[in-house]
């Protein structure tokens, strides 16, 4: 059985809730990622994704907004020892493409994306 820890990426892109969306978009582009984890005091407090950006643009919200105001707060997560199928089920159930991996205290350890799952299947 393949576990989340076996396929998760550990090079995380994190920002604080006080950073602007403009900064997040620039960082996402520079790192070729579709999301950034929003971390406060070492704990995951949100995620900002390409979909969040699309919602903002469609709603006429400016890029000067703080991440804490526009991030997804109720983040769906998995643990490193969870089976990969659990991460996949969460992606399907919640219609998401990125699932952060956290420890018991909520500190981010990694990220599993739909692309990571597909890459592992090959």
- pLDDT at position 61 is 92
Domain borders along the chain are 4-121
Instruction: Quote the CA–CA distance of 42 and 105 in Å, as a whole number.
Output: 9
Round to whole Å and give the CA distance between 32 and 62. 22
Give the mean model confidence (pLDDT) for residues 2-26. 96
> pLDDT tens for residues 57-70?
999 999 999 999 99
Closest CA relative to residue 117, chosen from 109, 96, 25, 38: 96
Q: What is the pTM of this model?
A: 0.91
> For residue 87, what pLDDT band results from cuts at 50, 70 and 90?
very high
Of residues 83, 84, 86, 77, the one with CA closest to residue 109: 77
pLDDT at residue 121 in the model: 83
Six token digits for residue 67: 């991440």
CATH superfamily of domain region 4-121 = CBS-domain (3.10.580.10)
């Amino acid at each position: 059985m393949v576990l989340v820890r076996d396929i998760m990426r550990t090079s995380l892109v994190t920002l604080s809730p006080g950073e602007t969306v403009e900064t997040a978009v620039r960082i996402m582009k520079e790192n070729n990622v579709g999301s950034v984890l929003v971390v406060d005091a070492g704990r995951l407090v949100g995620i900002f994704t390409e979909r969040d950006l699309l919602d903002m643009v469609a709603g006429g919200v400016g890029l000067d907004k703080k991440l804490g105001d526009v991030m997804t707060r109720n983040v769906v997560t998995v643990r490193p020892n969870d089976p990969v199928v659990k991460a996949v089920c969460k992606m399907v159930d919640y219609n998401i493409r990125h699932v952060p991996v956290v420890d018991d205290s909520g500190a981010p350890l990694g990220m599993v994306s739909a692309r990571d799952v597909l890459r592992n299947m090959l």
